[in-house]
């Protein structure tokens, strides 16, 4: 069994917004936060819907709490999740079912 990464270990996370304006606003604020590194944007150049970030677990938890506490309607809310590799039909890589 692999040990859990330390809280200080930086990992990749995805921040998703149903509307590009919410993501753009978040990215403007993230520029001033040294704990957040924007690696990539996904979606149309003028209206991205997802940002790929590198940050530590504590910062991810802080952002998740901020997004939850924002009181925004679900279609205006941002979500954050770990960036995990995709696999066909979510079959474990060992091939067992």
Q: pLDDT digits over 6-37, tens only?
A: 546 899 999 999 888 899 999 999 999 999 99
Residue among 44, 74, 75, 78 nearest 63 (CA) = 78
Torsion angles phi and psi, residue 89, rounded to 5: 55, 25
Token pair in block for residue 26: 């978040």
- Which pLDDT does position 96 carry in this prediction? 53
- 63 is in which domain, residue-wise? 10-45+53-74
d(CA 97, CA 62): 35
Residue 38 in any domain: the answer is yes
Q: What total of structural domains would you count in the chain?
A: 1
Residue 62 in any domain: the answer is yes
Q: For residues 29, 32, 35 and 38, what is the CA-based torsion angle, rounded to 10 degrees?
A: 60
Percent of the chain with pLDDT over 70: 78
First to last CA, the chain: 19
């Amino acid at each position: 069994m692999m040990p859990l990464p330390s809280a200080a270990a930086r990992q990749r996370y995805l921040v998703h917004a149903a509307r590009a304006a919410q993501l753009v606003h978040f990215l403007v604020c993230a520029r001033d936060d040294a704990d957040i590194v924007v690696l990539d944007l996904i979606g149309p150049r003028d209206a991205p819907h997802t940002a790929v970030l590198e940050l530590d677990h504590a910062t991810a938890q802080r952002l998740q709490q901020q997004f939850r506490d924002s009181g925004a309607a679900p279609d205006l809310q941002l979500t954050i999740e770990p960036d995990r590799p995709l696999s066909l039909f979510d079959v474990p890589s060992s091939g067992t079912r």
